[in-house]
Amino acid sequence: MENIPDMTRRIRDERQSEERLQTRQKREVLKGLDRHKTEFVSAVSHELRTPLSIIKQLLMLLYEETLGPLNDKQREVLVKMRHNVERLKDMIDKLLDVSRIERGKLKLHYSLVSLHELLGDSEDYFKESAQEKGIILKYHFPKEEVNIFVDAERVYQVISNLINNAIKFTDPNGKIRVEVKVLEAKIRIGVFDTGIGIAESDIPKIFNKFTQVSTRQDAAKKGVGLGLAIAKELVDRHGGEIWAESQLGVGSRFYFTLPRFYTADLLTGRLKESVNAFLRQKIPVHLINLLIVNYEKFKERITVAPHKMAGDIKGIIDASFKEFFGAGNGKRQLFIADMHSGKYSLIFPATAQEKVDGFCDLLSEKIKSYFITHKIENVFIALGILSYPPQSSLQAGPLFSANLNIKEIYIGAEMRRYRRIQYKTSVEVVSPKEARESCQSLDISQGGLCFISRRSFKTDAKIAVNFFLLKKKKVILAKGRVTWMSLMDRFPQDLTDKYKLGLEFLPLKDRDRKLLLQELELYYE
């Protein structure tokens, strides 16, 4: 006969099992409803596009007086109608974007893009829009050319949304600044304004769908609260972060980051083993990586057979090496090629930086000549250098170019100055005093640390942290600046918000720098 404790336990387990089943069933019903909602929004949005396009064309016929002359009053009415059609089109486009995102149908189309050109093409337009409200808009670019692999149309969508918002929420005589900064492995773009600002309690909500936090009626009427939600999704899909800092009555600062480099992980398989073999012997290594971008599509449109082209490029690399270093220096080179994906890698152990730089210049010229000779047009080649491992004194060298009929293509001289590894250890924020807390790291490199915090910091704020080296069993004190920040998804059990922070180290003390390098070398093997 079942005793009372066992009976109680059985009844409790059955009840919990039933509750879990009901919860799963409710979740499935909600997922189904959400899916139907998404499909409905997509279908309606598509159906609205065609008649809206016809209305727009008819308005243009009237406005251009194709159907007869207009008086000033009629022209004024048509201008208002056209503006409202554009607003409606913008709303439909945003609804379609949200629908694609929710259905997993949003695709990014990568190409090599100059941020100067991407921002510069619309600079006059936004300055004119700002000037109409009596607002001063300025752009600040780094001196060097900034080129990255992104979906240009989608990145422009993010930037234009932030600038339009800044203009919308800034009063006459205000100021707006657009800023581009180059970080270790990211590009950071900021849009700053002296507008009405956002309450601190509202900042975590602003990237949610259908959310508007402005108290201004004129601004609230102009949108459906999707712009920032879409911007966040687009930035996330690029592997970046987006965040905001604001103060009511003072203004807002919106930032987002994009990865600097197209190849996320250069050191894999055989290549990694080869590099580590030299590192174990304390031999400095330079790795040159040549990547043909979008190789599969590229193969479909060239007249040269892919296997022949792969062999030709290998021959060009060999010939360039012999020409630059001399035939008697073959021992200095270890050549690795991946003929199937358009990747070529060369490892130079114990070779001076100037020699590697000169070799790349020669190689880029010869590859350019090859494509010109074979009349292969519209080719994007990313040619870069990775210095690995980095020296603390190593500075970013000149950019390398491969002029392939269209334009100069620049890739950073170091594909990644600091190799980053997953690294979970205890981190203590010790300065400023009011920010003291215990945290946990996510990853680390010789140049910086990524960790989770329960508080947000201002961008570029200087802080100090202690963190424990897991293998060396030592504690390091590091000072640095917060270069990026991302609000993490909040789970039901979380009592407060959590932020993922990127800390770029300021120069470490010799003792701490050596300890950190020794620790990282143990993980590189």
* Residues 328-346: tens digit of each pLDDT: 555 545 555 555 566 677 7
CA dist 170 → 55, 133, 204, 206, 406 (Å): 32, 9, 21, 17, 40
Flag whether pLDDT at 130 surpasses 90.
Answer: yes
Architecture of domain 268-405 in this structure: 2-Layer Sandwich (3.30)
Token code pair at residue 119? 């921002």
Q: Write down the residue that tokens 């999704």 correspond to.
A: 233
Domain 29-103: state its class.
mainly alpha
Q: Evaluate whether 252 touches 197 at the Cβ level (below 8 Å).
A: yes
Flag whether pLDDT at 380 surpasses 70.
Answer: no
Flag whether pLDDT at 106 surpasses 60.
Answer: yes
Flag whether pLDDT at 87 surpasses 50.
Answer: yes
Query: Quick one: CA torsion of 513, 519, 522, 523, rounded to 10 degrees?
Result: -100
How high is the pLDDT of residue 36? Answer: 59
What is the CB neighbour count within 10 angstroms for residue 456? 20
How high is the pLDDT of residue 419? Answer: 65
Among 120-134, 253-267, 434-448, 497-511, the least confident range: 253-267
Flag whether pLDDT at 353 surpasses 80.
Answer: no
Confidence of residue 127 (pLDDT cuts 50, 70, 90): very high
**Cα–Cα distance between 49 and 55 in angstroms, integer?**
10
Pairing of strands 175-182, 136-140: parallel
Of all residues in the chain, the percent with pLDDT exceeding 90 is 28
* Residues 55-83: tens digit of each pLDDT: 888 888 888 888 788 888 888 888 888 87
User: Of the ranges 314-318, 396-400, 464-468, which is most confident?
Assistant: 464-468
How high is the pLDDT of residue 301? Answer: 67
Domain 421-524: state its class.
mainly beta
Give the list of residues 6+ apart from residue 99 with CB closer than 8 angstroms, or none: 38, 39, 41, 42, 45, 105
How high is the pLDDT of residue 374? Answer: 79
* Residues 185-220: tens digit of each pLDDT: 789 999 999 999 999 889 988 998 877 776 555 554
Of all residues in the chain, the percent with pLDDT exceeding 70 is 74
SS3 content of the chain, % helix, strand, coil (to 5): 45, 25, 30
Sign (positive/negative) of CA torsion 214, 217, 219, 223?
positive
User: Of the ranges 18-22, 142-146, 343-347, 514-518, which is most confident?
Assistant: 514-518
Flag whether pLDDT at 506 surpasses 90.
Answer: yes
Question: Helix/strand/coil (H, E, C) string of 191-258?
Answer: EEECCCCCCHHHHHHCCCCCCCCCCCHHHHCCCCCCHHHHHHHHHHHCCCCEEEEEECCCEEEEEEEE
Domain residue spans of the chain: 29-103, 111-213+221-259, 268-405, 421-524
How high is the pLDDT of residue 517? Answer: 87
85 compared with 193, residue with greater pLDDT: 193
Among 277-286, 347-356, 408-417, 509-518, the least confident range: 408-417
Flag whether pLDDT at 42 surpasses 70.
Answer: no
Domain 111-213+221-259: state its class.
alpha beta
How high is the pLDDT of residue 334? Answer: 53
**Cα–Cα distance between 111 and 522 in angstroms, integer?**
37
**Cα–Cα distance between 86 and 17 in angstroms, integer?**
53
| For residue 432, cis peptide bond before it (omega within 30 degrees of 0) | yes
**Hey, is 262 helix, strand or coil?**
coil
